[in-house]
């Protein structure tokens, strides 16, 4: 009640601050924005005429205007850091997931390469890594309302612009959710100039394939001798050299299971480990798992839209379809979507709009959990080169099933046993299993604008999004995880979010002064819930997707519901004078239901200013640099937050753990009542310039983001307890970190003639990330290949120091941890060594850990070329990163020989005999866990250049258009994800921000031929 | 015109009223996935539920891994690291502990982490009961039964762990080596590791309390702990501490009231805790396991997991060859690897797909090959006969030892004659009986360590490089403390000698 009175008072004071009896009377109610108006300073901002620009679909966009939090702003008035991309940059790219369009869009935006799964999304980070344990993804806002759905549900053709808010001045109005940056997506509106509907038809057809090659691996002929050597070296210590040779020759066939050659089992490798010269492969054509697990993908896309309007109403409507078969036989994506955006001026004072959309998505997904046998990438990459895809008999002939088709080899039924993935075949399993999602996404944005006074406008927005996903996961009874009974898991998940806000806008212009003020209130309510059930024991073939057609429930049915609510008050005041001096200040107060009552409310704020020096008289008169057209300085500072810290961590409790039929629970969550959001103090300094009549323009920015109260899942001593998850931690707001860097963007017109135009955009960013405070009780937190500690970045590698190979015997040498020292000659299996005065161990457990550089590149950015010659256009987008390291775990696996598994071709350079100088240790079955263990050996430069997109277009001549009765016709050829140049063939440097590689879905390259026709 | 202004003002008022805040309760939302701390342990009913939760932990999959299945994982680790089980494939999920390779002496290994984490998880939940049950609302009888089981669990959990992370207990030594951190109450501050001797003191005092408190308690089923189970724990502890007389008395007391099973039951798969000989055993229910996360997905002979298909568990040949063919246990292993009456996993069409190896087992079977469930044998009366026999033999009471062994051996083999052996020969006979009786139930590593014997793999013939031996008393018999514990405790918890 108190807050109620307070807010009423504030509003009343606010209203009292300007003349209620206004000159609106003089202007009268019938005034319309379409009338020519001379004195723009007298007109409320929303009615002010703007420079409209026709985009590709004849939909109006606003030139020189940037979409900002709760409104739009002239570009020249922006005091913060905002990067905006428009429809024209997306129209000819075959974008399935909208996030793909953000890659390389501006300095400060970092993205991974999206997975090859059609519809897959890249991960986006804005200006570094703002959080350690909480979410680091930017907030997505669609048409002014926070959007919790999947970006793959939005048709890129419906999007007019995407703005990325990077600094506090731009993001502070998103308060507790703004610290990771905000992406504002604005969908298209009808143009009031199109009295006759403008129709656009857009289609593209194309195919897709794997973008990156596979790692280089040894072939079938090389494999047997290599594994012989690996096994033999493992026997030497216990058996001596002679016996080791003998046993290795005798046993190698049983170790590897398969004899793919036309020579007897005991004659494959001789006593010295040489392959029998007469050995010829029995099934040489059936060893390519990668080829067998891929196909030519196909992608098609259609969008039809029409729009139009007049002075009192406008509309935009579209319908689209994307159908994409991925390059693996088990992946596809189909999406139908539609959108209608209608706006009406109901009276001179009242405007209202409604924007509704819906999409229906169906997708089969290839399982790509990194080490699962059903993951075809892992399977094909790891499978030794002697194992066939299909089953063969002793003569090498295919074994056929009842239908006369070749049977898949499961490693069992050929009489010998395949040591890797026995009983499994990811390809067969992929075809028999189902991994399917179907989703419906529906939503609406509605708004009403009421001009209360010529300077005052009231706006209310309601937004509703609902996304429902049903999942089907069927595992067949014949082969794999579902054998022998068959299993099904079905799930259903719903995310519903609702936002309601009320805003008052005040604008006033006088004598060159321009004031805009906004106050508002907003509430946000999200509920996510879901259920799932798992059954096994399929009772008959067919109808395998119904729970009832199974005999037993394999797990208790499951459900969840999580409600999150945020209530906010917000305000912003902007001021400028003569379009030369600009200032903004904003404040937002958020209450968030994920935090305890007394930690729930907090204030976020920002201030910003800009100075267009080039507008100053003194500058024009005294400095007088004719080539300098625009020079603007800007600065902003403020505080934003991050509330993505898990749900209800402040509420402790027990979780159910029934013992058969007896009800039970165990200790689960240690509460922290003090938990609250992470906060971020964000500084931005920038300079914008334009030279030689806009031939060259750009900006340089410096940012310093100081995060405090970082949330850590602070690991507790295991001896204090724990839960079956294996994790025992308390969420706490401890820790600080900064992200600092420089960003530069330069747009230059390299060539400009009547016929030709070449524009180039170069973006470059640096990022320095450093942890400045860690939890008192856990000054160091080791996780995977990283260790968090003060003075290091979140992605600094913490690994055992690999020092190379002892030329004497091929042992891997690691720096000995001095704490572990013991006397040489002590009765240990692997005594330490002293070489040239340095102490080494050959055992990972005794080795010393150290920092070994960072996964964060020294410089990253993008290069865009837009070339037009006559009717042709060529656009090329590159992204690059220079410096930084990657920990190539996939390569490590291939360099750590295992019976039955593939081996990297680089193994050729291993230590073989005394005196060999190499970095690759002896292959030794008994020591591989040490020699090839996780260490700095697997780091490699992460410098890379990625060709993201090449697009060649042609626009038809007006004469042709006339004949065809078209307003516009363009055709183009586009290649997405063209290639990545990196330090190692097969390695995807842009798979993750933390610089590690896993067996994910290798990104896809898409070739498309497209047509855009305007009626 | 005035009117328009009025309307304007009216709209302003409407607008203002919309700007005001929501009700205070708008921001009150509650987690729905947990039971609030405020109510969980306020009644004995609630305490019973926490106790049930502990019973369940014993067969819950941990760390999101299929092979870390509660107590079953510890049992499989202990046998994999022993010499009586041979693994037959390099791809076996337990190949690392089998090779003693990158596991117990690697502070980052899952084996080291799990066996530490798992027992402390039980201890923390038991401590919550110890802290709360007295003040809870309910009958004294319930409180005694709950508290008794809480103490029994705590004592047992410490005992399972101290044998791994501490040095071997030597009755003639001081046992001042680093033991474990003692936690008597939930959420108490971290203290350094207590000595091995101090940990054993706590174990004994917990078990003594449990035996007292559980006097007269009648349990609902064998997944709960009763007085005889607590006595069984005490017998195991005494045997390990070479406290032979206590071991003998407690073992005899523990087994009273439990009949030894007959030969038919013996061959029925060790998967049912209703078996009269079982003193303690978890009951697994089909919807409480996830696919392969079960002891029986590795140890049974007929569940079609990849591990069983490719790597059936086998018996050490030299031990097997000593079993008379009249002994029911002679039927548990197939010396030929070709006996089709031994069930192996089948594919969907009913065809055998499992590998057969020499000396493969059929002791553990799943009742329904579509499900990996089975009851977990955690304590059987036969073990108590063996403890009593061994303890007596150690004290030199050969006749008493032979007499203690006789009922068990005779039950298994009708042709068995009362042993007349003495001294080492008698101990060897008891040891042989123990090895074939408790095969696969998680005792072998513990037995080798407590008896200060070497691991001898010279008979393991699958692949030559498996021929590992570990001398008695080697540093490798002591597990390392997980690095995560050292890190999270701010190094208050020290590492074992590396």
Give the Å distances, CA to CA, from B309 to A554, B94, B137, B293: 21, 14, 52, 16
Residue A413: predicted pLDDT: 58
- The chain B residue lying nearest A590, using CA atoms, is B27
Instruction: Answer yes or no: do B223 and A659 touch at CB < 8 A.
Output: yes
Instruction: Answer yes or no: do A660 and B285 touch at CB < 8 A.
Output: yes
Comparing A658 with A484, which gets the higher pLDDT?
A658
The backbone torsions φ and ψ at residue A533, rounded to the nearest 5 degrees and listed phi first, read: -140, 145
pLDDT tens per residue, range A511-524: 889 999 999 999 99
Element housing B318 (H / E): helix B317-320
Distance CA B282, CA B280 (A): 7
Distance from CA of B220 to the nearest CA of A (A): 10
Give the Å distances, CA to CA, from B227 to A183, A918, B233, B279, B314: 64, 64, 10, 10, 35
Place of tokens 């390389």: A104
Distance CA A959, CA A964 (A): 9
Residue A746: predicted pLDDT: 94
Distance from CA of B445 to the nearest CA of A (A): 21
Give percent of chain A above pLDDT 90.
64
Residue A169: predicted pLDDT: 83
Residue A365 in any domain: the answer is no
Q: How confident is the model over A737-760, as a mean pLDDT?
A: 93
Q: Which of A168, A190, A212 is the last residue of a domain?
A: A190
pLDDT tens per residue, range A853-877: 999 999 999 999 999 999 999 999 9
The backbone torsions φ and ψ at residue A819, rounded to the nearest 5 degrees and listed phi first, read: -65, -25
Question: Residue B18 pLDDT > 80, yes or no?
Answer: no
- CB atoms inside a 10 Å sphere around CB A883: 15
**CB < 8 Å to A845, chain B:** 102, 105-107, 480, 498
**CB < 8 Å to A12, chain B:** 16
Contact present, A791 and A771 (Cβ < 8 Å)? yes
Q: Which structure tokens are listed for B147?
A: 């508290």
Instruction: Answer yes or no: do A235 and B464 touch at CB < 8 A.
Output: yes
Beta-bridge mates of residue A838: A835
Element housing B203 (H / E): helix B196-213
* Preceding peptide of A521 cis, ω within 30°: no
Distance CA B87, CA A242 (A): 26
Distance CA A429, CA A564 (A): 40
- The chain A residue lying nearest B96, using CA atoms, is A929
Comparing A161 with B323, which gets the higher pLDDT?
B323
CA dihedral A11, A14, A15, A17 (to 10 degrees): 160
Instruction: Answer yes or no: do B30 and A239 touch at CB < 8 A.
Output: no
The range of the structural domain enclosing residue B197 comes to 42-282+377-452+477-488
Distance CA A87, CA A303 (A): 14
**CB < 8 Å to B488, chain A:** 715-718, 728, 777-778
Residue A51: predicted pLDDT: 35
Q: Give the model's confidence band at A53: pLDDT under 50 very low, under 70 low, under 90 confident, else very high.
A: very low
Residue B55 in any domain: the answer is yes
Burial of A1 (0-12, 13-18, 19+ CB in 10 A): exposed
Question: Residue B54 pLDDT > 70, yes or no?
Answer: yes
Measure CB to CB from residue A255 to each of B289, B291, B463 and give the nearest one: B463
Contact present, B61 and B293 (Cβ < 8 Å)? yes
Contact present, A537 and A552 (Cβ < 8 Å)? yes
Question: Residue B160 pLDDT > 80, yes or no?
Answer: yes
Distance from CA of A413 to the nearest CA of B (A): 8
Instruction: Answer yes or no: do A7 and B371 touch at CB < 8 A.
Output: no
Distance from CA of A410 to the nearest CA of B (A): 11
pLDDT tens per residue, range A876-905: 999 999 999 999 999 999 999 999 999 999
Residue B183: predicted pLDDT: 97
Give the Å distances, CA to CA, from B85 to A49, A238, B97, B459: 85, 21, 12, 11
Residue A543: predicted pLDDT: 86
Contact present, B493 and B481 (Cβ < 8 Å)? yes
Question: Residue B20 pLDDT > 90, yes or no?
Answer: no
CA dihedral B388, B389, B390, B392 (to 10 degrees): 80
Distance CA A170, CA B128 (A): 50
Q: Which of A190, A224, A257 is the last residue of a domain?
A: A190
Question: Residue A479 pLDDT > 70, yes or no?
Answer: yes
Instruction: Answer yes or no: do A553 and B286 touch at CB < 8 A.
Output: yes
Residue B490: predicted pLDDT: 85
| HEC profile of A563-584 | EEEEEEEEEEEEEEECCCEEEE
Measure CB to CB from residue A726 to each of B19, B36, B63 and give the nearest one: B63
Q: β-pairing, A124-126 with A297-309?
A: unpaired
Question: Residue A25 pLDDT > 50, yes or no?
Answer: no
Residue A714: predicted pLDDT: 84
Place of tokens 């267009």: A612
CATH of the domain at A114: 2.170.130.10
Report DSSP state, residue A371. T
pLDDT tens per residue, range B422-450: 999 999 999 999 999 999 999 999 999 99
Instruction: Answer yes or no: do B90 and A671 touch at CB < 8 A.
Output: no
Residue A978 in any domain: the answer is yes
Residue A47: predicted pLDDT: 31
Instruction: Answer yes or no: do A724 and B309 touch at CB < 8 A.
Output: no
Provide the b/e sequence for A760-795 (b: ≥16 CB within 10 Å).
Answer: bbbbbbbbebebeebbebbeebbeebbbbbeebbbb
Q: Which structure tokens are listed for A154?
A: 């939005």
**Of the candidates B102, B103, B99, the residue with the CA atom closest to the CA atom of residue B468:** B99
Domain count, chain B: 1
Distance CA B14, CA A710 (A): 41
**CB < 8 Å to B29, chain A:** 563-565, 593-594, 648
Question: Residue B224 pLDDT > 90, yes or no?
Answer: yes
Q: β-pairing, A350-364 with A332-345?
A: antiparallel
Instruction: Answer yes or no: do A717 and B489 touch at CB < 8 A.
Output: yes
Domain count, chain A: 2
Residue A265 in any domain: the answer is no
Q: Give the model's confidence band at B16: pLDDT under 50 very low, under 70 low, under 90 confident, else very high.
A: low
Distance CA B440, CA B88 (A): 15
Instruction: Answer yes or no: do B287 and A565 touch at CB < 8 A.
Output: no
- The chain B residue lying nearest A416, using CA atoms, is B355
Instruction: Answer yes or no: do A655 and B34 touch at CB < 8 A.
Output: yes
Q: Is the dihedral of CA A545, A548, A552, A553 positive or negative?
A: positive
Measure CB to CB from residue A536 to each of B62, B348, B370 and give the nearest one: B370
Distance CA A320, CA A303 (A): 4
Q: Give the model's confidence band at B15: pLDDT under 50 very low, under 70 low, under 90 confident, else very high.
A: low
Instruction: Answer yes or no: do A657 and B53 touch at CB < 8 A.
Output: yes
**CB < 8 Å to B18, chain A:** 460, 502, 521
Give the Å distances, CA to CA, from B392 to A177, A879, B423: 71, 78, 10
Distance from CA of B190 to the nearest CA of A (A): 8
Residue B179 in any domain: the answer is yes
Question: Residue A825 pLDDT > 50, yes or no?
Answer: no
Q: How confident is the model over B265-288, as a mean pLDDT?
A: 94
Comparing A14 with B77, which gets the higher pLDDT?
B77
Distance from CA of B430 to the nearest CA of A (A): 32
Residues near A79 by beta carbon (within 8 Å), at least 6 away in sequence? A169, A582, A583, A584, A608, A609, A610, A634, A635, A636
DSSP result, A503-523: EEEEEEEETTEEEEEEEEEEE
pLDDT tens per residue, range A298-348: 999 999 999 999 889 999 999 999 999 999 999 999 999 999 999 999 998
> Alpha helices, DSSP H only, in A825-952?
889-895, 928-931
The backbone torsions φ and ψ at residue A23, rounded to the nearest 5 degrees and listed phi first, read: -80, 10
- The chain B residue lying nearest A927, using CA atoms, is B101
The backbone torsions φ and ψ at residue A663, rounded to the nearest 5 degrees and listed phi first, read: -65, 140
Give percent of chain B above pLDDT 90.
75
Residue A423: predicted pLDDT: 83
Q: Which of A190, A215, A236 is the last residue of a domain?
A: A190
Contact present, B188 and B488 (Cβ < 8 Å)? no
Residue A385 in any domain: the answer is no
- The chain A residue lying nearest B3, using CA atoms, is A25
Q: Give the model's confidence band at A5: pLDDT under 50 very low, under 70 low, under 90 confident, else very high.
A: very low
Distance from CA of B471 to the nearest CA of A (A): 11
Distance CA A21, CA A1 (A): 31
**CB < 8 Å to A3, chain B:** 20-21
Distance CA B263, CA B260 (A): 10
**CB < 8 Å to A725, chain B:** 62-64
Give percent of chain A above pLDDT 70.
92
> Alpha helices, DSSP H only, in B67-139?
71-80, 95-99, 110-132
Distance CA A940, CA B246 (A): 61
Burial of A241 (0-12, 13-18, 19+ CB in 10 A): exposed
pLDDT tens per residue, range B92-151: 889 889 888 778 988 888 999 999 999 999 999 999 999 999 999 999 999 999 999 999
Residue B32 in any domain: the answer is no
Q: Which structure tokens are listed for A215?
A: 């790692």
DSSP result, A655-697: EE--BTTB--EEEEE---TT---EEEEEEEEEEEEEETTTTEE
Q: Which structure tokens are listed for B250?
A: 């407690």
Instruction: Answer yes or no: do B50 and A778 touch at CB < 8 A.
Output: no
Residue A778: predicted pLDDT: 79
Lowest mean pLDDT among A411-425, A628-642, B144-158, B383-397: A411-425
**Of the candidates A921, A918, A939, the residue with the CA atom closest to the CA atom of residue A931:** A921
Distance CA A423, CA B173 (A): 52
The range of the structural domain enclosing residue A165 comes to 51-190
Distance CA A766, CA A746 (A): 15
CA A409 distance to own-chain centroid: 36
Comparing B117 with B30, which gets the higher pLDDT?
B117
Residue A178 in any domain: the answer is yes
- The chain A residue lying nearest B354, using CA atoms, is A412
Distance CA A294, CA A325 (A): 11
Mutation site for A-interface testing, chosen from B11, B23, B38, B53 by largest number of A Cβ within 10 Å:
B53
């Amino acid at each position: 009640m108190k807050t109620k009175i307070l807010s009423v008072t504030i509003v009343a004071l606010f209203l009292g601050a300007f003349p209620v009896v206004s000159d609106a009377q003089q202007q009268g109610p019938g005034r319309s924005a379409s009338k020519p108006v001379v004195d723009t300073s007298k007109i409320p901002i929303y009615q002010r005429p703007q420079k409209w620009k026709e985009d590709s679909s004849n939909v109006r966009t606003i030139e020189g205007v940037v979409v900002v939090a709760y409104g739009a702003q002239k570009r020249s008035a922006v005091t913060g850091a905002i990067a905006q991309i428009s429809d024209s940059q997306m129209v000819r790219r075959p974008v399935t997931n909208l996030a793909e369009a953000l890659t390389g869009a501006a300095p400060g935006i970092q993205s991974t390469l999206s997975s090859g799964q059609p519809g897959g999304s890249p991960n986006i980070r804005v200006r570094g890594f703002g959080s350690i344990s909480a979410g680091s993804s930017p907030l997505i806002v669609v048409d002014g309302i926070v959007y919790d759905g999947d970006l793959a549900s939005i048709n890129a053709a419906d999007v007019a612009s995407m703005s990325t808010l990077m600094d506090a001045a731009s993001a502070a109005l998103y308060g507790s959710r703004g610290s990771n940056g905000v992406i504002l997506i604005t969908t298209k509106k009808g143009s009031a100039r199109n009295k006759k509907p403008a129709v656009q038809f857009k289609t593209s057809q194309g195919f897709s394939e794997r973008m990156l090659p596979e790692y280089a691996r040894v072939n079938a002929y090389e494999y047997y001798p290599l594994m012989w050597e690996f096994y033999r070296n493992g026997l030497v210590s216990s058996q001596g050299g002679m016996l080791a040779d003998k046993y290795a020759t005798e046993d190698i066939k049983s170790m590897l299971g398969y004899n793919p050659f036309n020579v007897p089992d005991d004659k494959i490798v001789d006593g010295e480990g040489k392959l029998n010269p007469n050995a010829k492969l029995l099934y040489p054509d059936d060893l390519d798992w990668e080829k067998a697990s891929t196909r030519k993908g196909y992608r098609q896309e259609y969008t039809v839209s029409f729009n139009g309007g007049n002075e009192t109403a406008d509309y935009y409507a579209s319908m689209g379809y994307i159908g994409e078969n991925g390059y693996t036989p088990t992946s596809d994506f189909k999406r139908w979507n539609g959108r209608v955006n209608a706006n009406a001026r109901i009276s001179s004072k009242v405007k209202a709009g409604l924007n509704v959309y819906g999409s229906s998505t169906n997708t089969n997904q290839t399982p790509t959990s990194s080490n699962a046998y059903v993951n075809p990438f892992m399977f094909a990459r790891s499978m030794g080169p002697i194992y066939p895809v299909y089953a063969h008999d002793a003569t090498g002939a295919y074994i056929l099933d009842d239908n006369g088709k070749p049977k898949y080899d499961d490693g069992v039924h050929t009489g010998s046993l395949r040591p890797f993935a026995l009983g499994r075949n990811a390809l067969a399993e992929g075809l028999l299993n189902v991994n399917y999602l179907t989703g419906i996404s529906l939503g609406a944005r509605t708004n009403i604008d009421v001009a209360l006074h010529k300077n005052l406008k009231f706006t209310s927005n309601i937004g509703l999004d609902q996304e429902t996903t049903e999942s089907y996961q069927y595992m067949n009874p014949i082969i794999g995880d579902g054998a022998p009974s068959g299993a099904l898991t079905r799930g259903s998940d719903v995310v519903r979010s609702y936002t309601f806000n009320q805003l008052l806008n005040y604008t006033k212009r006088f004598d060159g002064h321009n004031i805009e003020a906004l106050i508002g209130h907003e509430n946000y309510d999200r509920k996510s819930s879901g259920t799932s059930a798992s059954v096994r024991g399929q009772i008959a073939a067919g109808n395998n997707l119904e729970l009832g057609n199974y005999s037993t429930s394999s797990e208790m049915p499951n459900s969840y519901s999580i409600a999150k609510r945020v209530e906010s008050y917000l305000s912003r005041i902007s001021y400028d004078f003569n379009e030369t001096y600009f200032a903004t200040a904003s404040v937002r107060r958020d209450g968030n239901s994920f935090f305890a009552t007394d930690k729930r409310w907090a204030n976020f704020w920002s201030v910003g200013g800009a100075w267009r020096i080039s507008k100053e008289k003194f500058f024009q008169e005294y400095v007088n640099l004719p080539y300098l057209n625009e020079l603007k300085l800007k600065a902003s500072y403020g505080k934003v937050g991050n509330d993505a810290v898990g749900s209800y961590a402040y509420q402790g409790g027990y979780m159910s753990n029934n013992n058969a039929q007896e009800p039970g629970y165990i200790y689960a969550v240690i509460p922290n009542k003090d938990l609250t959001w992470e906060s971020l103090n964000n500084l931005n300094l920038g300079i914008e310039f334009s030279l030689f009549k806009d031939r060259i323009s750009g900006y340089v920015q410096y940012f310093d983001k100081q995060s405090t109260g970082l949330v850590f899942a602070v690991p507790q001593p295991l001896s204090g307890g724990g839960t079956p998850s294996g994790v025992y931690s308390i969420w706490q707001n401890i820790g600080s970190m900064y992200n600092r860097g420089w960003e530069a963007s330069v747009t230059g017109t390299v060539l400009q003639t009547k016929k030709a135009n070449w524009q180039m955009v170069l973006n470059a960013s640096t990022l320095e990330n450093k942890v400045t405070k860690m939890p008192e009780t856990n000054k160091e937190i080791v996780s995977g290949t990283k260790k968090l500690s003060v003075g290091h970045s979140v992605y600094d590698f913490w690994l055992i120091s690999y020092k190379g190979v002892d030329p004497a015997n091929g042992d891997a040498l690691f720096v000995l941890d001095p704490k572990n020292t013991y006397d040489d000659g002590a009765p240990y299996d692997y005594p330490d060594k002293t070489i040239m005065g340095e102490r080494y161990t050959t055992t990972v457990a005794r080795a010393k850990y150290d920092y070994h550089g960072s996964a964060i590149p020294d410089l990253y950015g993008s290069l865009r070329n837009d070339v037009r010659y006559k009717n042709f256009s060529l656009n090329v987008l590159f992204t690059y990163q220079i410096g930084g390291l990657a920990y190539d775990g996939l390569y490590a696996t291939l360099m750590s020989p295992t019976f039955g598994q593939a081996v990297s071709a680089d193994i050729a350079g291993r230590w073989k005999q005394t005196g060999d100088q190499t970095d690759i240790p002896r292959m030794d079955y008994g020591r591989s866990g040490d020699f090839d263990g996780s260490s700095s050996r697997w780091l490699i430069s992460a410098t890379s250049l990625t060709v993201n997109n090449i697009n060649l277009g042609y626009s038809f001549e007006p004469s042709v258009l006339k004949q065809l009765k078209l307003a516009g016709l363009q055709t183009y050829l586009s290649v997405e994800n063209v290639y990545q140049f990196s330090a190692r063939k097969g390695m995807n440097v842009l798979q993750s921000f933390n610089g590690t590689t896993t067996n994910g879905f290798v990104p896809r390259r898409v070739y498309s031929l497209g047509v855009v026709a305007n009626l | 015109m005035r009117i328009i202004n009025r309307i304007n003002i009216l709209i302003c008022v409407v607008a203002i009223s919309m700007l005001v805040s929501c009700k205070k309760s708008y921001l009150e939302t509650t987690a729905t996935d947990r039971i609030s701390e405020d109510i969980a342990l306020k009644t004995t009913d609630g305490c019973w539920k926490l106790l049930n939760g502990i019973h369940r932990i014993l067969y819950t999959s941990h760390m999101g891994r299929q092979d870390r299945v509660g107590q079953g994982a510890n049992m499989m680790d202990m046998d994999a690291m022993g010499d009586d089980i041979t693994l037959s494939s390099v791809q076996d999920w337990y190949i690392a502990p089998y090779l003693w390779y990158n596991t117990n002496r690697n502070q980052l290994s899952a084996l080291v982490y799990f066996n530490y984490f798992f027992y402390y998880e039980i201890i923390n939940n038991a401590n919550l009961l110890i802290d709360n049950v007295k003040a809870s609302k309910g009958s004294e009888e319930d409180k005694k039964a709950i508290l008794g089981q809480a103490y029994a669990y705590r004592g047992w959990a410490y005992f399972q762990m101290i044998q791994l992370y501490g040095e071997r207990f030597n009755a003639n030594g001081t046992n001042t080596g680093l033991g474990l951190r003692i936690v008597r109450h939930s959420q108490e501050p971290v203290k350094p590791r207590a000595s091995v001797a101090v940990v054993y003191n706590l174990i004994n005092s917990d078990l003594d309390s449990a035996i007292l408190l559980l006097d007269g308690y009648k349990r609902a089923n064998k997944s709960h702990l009763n007085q005889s189970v607590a006595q069984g724990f005490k017998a195991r502890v005494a045997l390990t501490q070479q406290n032979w007389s206590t071991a003998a008395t407690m073992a005899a007391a523990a087994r009273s009231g439990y009949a030894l099973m007959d030969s038919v039951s013996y061959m029925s798969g060790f998967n049912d805790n209703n078996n009269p000989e079982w003193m303690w055993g978890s009951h697994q229910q089909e919807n409480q396991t996830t696919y392969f996360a079960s002891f029986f997905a590795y140890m049974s002979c007929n569940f079609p997991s990849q591990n069983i298909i490719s790597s059936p568990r086998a018996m050490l040949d030299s031990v097997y060859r000593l079993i008379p063919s009249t002994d029911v246990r002679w039927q548990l292993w197939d010396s030929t690897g070709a006996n089709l009456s031994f069930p192996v996993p089948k594919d969907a069409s009913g065809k055998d797909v499992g590998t057969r190896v020499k000396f493969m087992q059929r002791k553990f079977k799943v009742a329904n090959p579509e499900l990996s469930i089975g009851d977990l044998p955690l304590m059987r009366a036969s073990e108590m006969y063996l403890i009593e026999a061994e303890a007596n033999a150690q004290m030199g009471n050969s006749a008493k030892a032979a007499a203690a062994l006789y009922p068990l051996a005779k039950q298994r083999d009708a042709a068995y004659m009362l042993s007349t052996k003495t001294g080492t020969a008698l101990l060897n006979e008891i040891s042989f009986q123990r090895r074939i009786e408790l095969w696969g139930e998680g005792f072998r590593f513990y037995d080798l360590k407590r008896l200060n014997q070497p691991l001898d793999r010279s008979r393991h013939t699958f692949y030559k490089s498996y021929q590992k031996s570990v001398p008695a008393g080697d540093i490798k018999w002591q597990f390392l403390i997980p690095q995560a514990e050292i890190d999270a405790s701010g190094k208050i918890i020290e590492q074992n000698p590396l």
